[in-house]
Amino acid sequence: MATITNSPSNICFLLLLLLAHFNLGKSQLQLNYYSKSCPKAEDIIKQQVTQLYHKHGNTAVSWVRNLFHDCVVQSCDASLLLETARHGTLVSEQTSERSFGMRNFKYVNTIKAAVEEECPLTVSCADIVALSARDGISLLGGPSIEIKTGRRDSKESYAKEVKDLIPNHNDSISVVLSRFQAIGIDVEATVALLGAHSVGRVHCMNLVHRLYPTVDTTLDPAHAEYLKRRCPTPNPDPKAVLYSRNDLKTPMIIDNNYYKNILQHKGLLIVDEELATDSRTAPYVQKMANDNEYFHQQFSRAIQLLSETNPLTGDQGEIRKDCRYLNVH
């Protein structure tokens, strides 16, 4: 039997084989992935996102939240969009308590239908999630971000994992930092991502624990009184429209007012307060509060990192015809 020696040439050959095996069936995400297969895809998505924004302004905020909820759970693979199957074979991630308050999923189908009309079974729902977030951020006054494409769609839901992977509204900054670090997002980028709270709102049921029975001493007293007017009872109806916005001055613009607010102890969630006071994050908060351009630069970088989390590519997954359902084979 022939023996393989440990010569440099043989070692290089084995390394090449290993790399070839590792990359088998996997292509990298790239800019303008659909330039040949569906050249109008990104323009169609942008047009749909813009039209929806002018009809329903809050859709742009939904697209940003969709990206977070999709990518933090296993992969940027549109598993979030799958609906619960009738016979219980699949449970939607949307049923998780972490998905409370999410909306506008039906309009993802509007975008997908327009793309399907141009290029059937070509553009993934996962890329629609990423690109709609990009375009939504731009419409909300945020930075223009280059987003790579080429993702494919998951064939399963991860409903059981959602609770363990998406931070709870009561979680500490340490928990939040560790969750993001686990998917390759550093502290500076995490601070920037939380800046998306500048266009967010919080339902009273997720902040009354800071108001009742006694007011959280870390809250600005005058702001606490305002929040008590917004949330007049310690037991709000989760189905009622009872909420407060993070940013009262520019509630529909992604800017650095969020950081200015939390430095004044006007954050709605515990993590907002801790972000401004924890030694690991406070320097970035101060810098972002002082410099909106710096915040936008870091926000762009953070969105790119988030959107490239463990994507399915190549021959993995599928390209769904309808984002709500797995393809029928």
In tens, the pLDDT along 82-106 reads: 999 877 789 999 999 888 888 899 9
73 is in an annotated binding site: yes
User: Any idea which residue has 């731009």 for tokens?
Assistant: 138
Return phi, psi of residue 315, to 5°: -105, 15
279-310 pLDDT, tens digit per residue, is: 999 999 999 999 999 999 999 999 999 999 99
283 is in an annotated binding site: no
| Percent above pLDDT 70 for the chain | 91
User: Any idea which residue has 């709870």 for tokens?
Assistant: 168
Q: Where are the beta strands (DSSP E) in 172-314?
A: 201-203, 243-245
How far is the C-alpha of 181 from the C-alpha of 31, rounded, in Å?
Answer: 25
Assess contact for 199 and 252: CB atoms under 8 A.
yes
pTM of structure? 0.89
Strand partners, 10: none
Assess contact for 268 and 246: CB atoms under 8 A.
yes
pLDDT score recorded for residue 241:
87
Respond yes or no: is residue 203 known to be catalytic.
Answer: no
167 is in an annotated binding site: yes
77 is in an annotated binding site: yes
Q: Which of 21, 54, 56, 69 is catalytic?
A: 69
250 is in an annotated binding site: yes
In this prediction, residue 23 has a pLDDT band, given cuts at 50, 70 and 90, of: very low
How far is the C-alpha of 234 from the C-alpha of 204, rounded, in Å?
Answer: 9
